[in-house]
Homo-oligomer: A and B are copies of this chain.
Amino acid sequence: VAWSTRELAELAGTSLRVVRHYHEVGLLAEPQRRANGWKQYGVAHLVRLLRIKRLTDLGVSLPQIAAMGDDAEHPAETLRTLDAELAATIERLQRARVEIGAILRHATPTDMPIELAPAATTTRLSGNSRAMATVLSRVLGTRGLQAYAAELLREDSDRIGAEFESLPADADEPTRQDLARRLAPVVRTVYGRHRGLQTFYADAPQGSRFALSTAGKAIADLYNTAQLDVLRRLDHLLKNARPDPR
């Protein structure tokens, strides 16, 4: 009149391996054996196993269960801590669901940061712009990112931006100079719309101590020589023009 390992496992609604695992880690005492070496479990083992199973189902780790010991008194502190952890996990998962919902709604590619999703939906960004947006999203702070998203949505910025995007590497000098000249007022207006954009990296996320150099490297990586030349010319124009009248 004793249960085998399989019977014990079935009664507890668990597996053979779990019972043996609990023996291995010392959570469940090994029972007496018959002459042939087979284990014989009694009610005490079943009760103990059910208690372990119940706690693991609640999310208690095996070391924690071991620390609670054999006495059946209920450890209010452990349970309260666990409850708080569960609450935090639930919140995290719910935030994940919200983000998934946003991705599905906007049908954005999964490498676009969610903050730029609305912009990405209306203006279809080229591969380079998407890469640039992804990098910037890591380097910009909240304010900078919002400003960037807002700019992406503007038609005028978008049109001339597209022109810049598609500039071939072998564009001749007049073309580059002309593009830089037409870009200058647009960029000035952007600066005007977003005061303090120069300090946009102040509230950058953790780990991007490199804000400026990172953005610089991304630009150097992504754009061709003609485009880089246009940016140089643009910088020159912005610096040498009279300052923006406030």
Q: How far apart are the CA atoms of A186 and B73 in the complex, in Å?
A: 32
- Scoring A3, A107, A131, A205 by chain B CB atoms within 10 A of each residue's CB, the highest score goes to A131
Which of A76-84, A149-157, A175-183 is the contact stretch? A76-84
Q: How far apart are the CA atoms of A209 and B10 in the complex, in Å?
A: 9
Which of A16-24, A89-97, A230-238 is the contact stretch? A89-97
Which of A48-56, A160-168, A193-201 is the contact stretch? A48-56
A43 touches B11 (CB 8 A): no
Name A43's contact: one of B100, B104, B109, B222 (CB within 8 Å).
B222
Name A96's contact: one of B10, B11, B86, B138 (CB within 8 Å).
B86
Name A47's contact: one of B10, B90, B135 (CB within 8 Å).
B135
Shortest distance between the CB of A91 and any CB in chain B (Å) = 10
Interface size class of A (residues with CB under 8 A): 35 or more
Closest residue of B by beta carbon distance from A73: B109
Does A246 sit within 8 A of B, measured CB to CB? Answer: no
Chain B residues within 8 Å of A191, by CB: none
B217 touches A1 (CB 8 A): yes
B96 touches A210 (CB 8 A): no
Chain B residues within 8 Å of A209, by CB: 10
A82 touches B111 (CB 8 A): no
A110 touches B74 (CB 8 A): yes
A72 touches B138 (CB 8 A): no
The 6 closest A-B CB pairs, nearest first, are: A72-B109, A51-B111, A10-B207, A43-B221, A72-B111, A74-B110
Task: Supply 15 A–B pairs (Cβ within 8 Å), ascending by A.
Answer: A1-B220, A2-B217, A11-B208, A43-B221, A48-B111, A72-B112, A72-B130, A74-B107, A74-B110, A79-B100, A86-B97, A89-B93, A90-B90, A90-B97, A93-B93
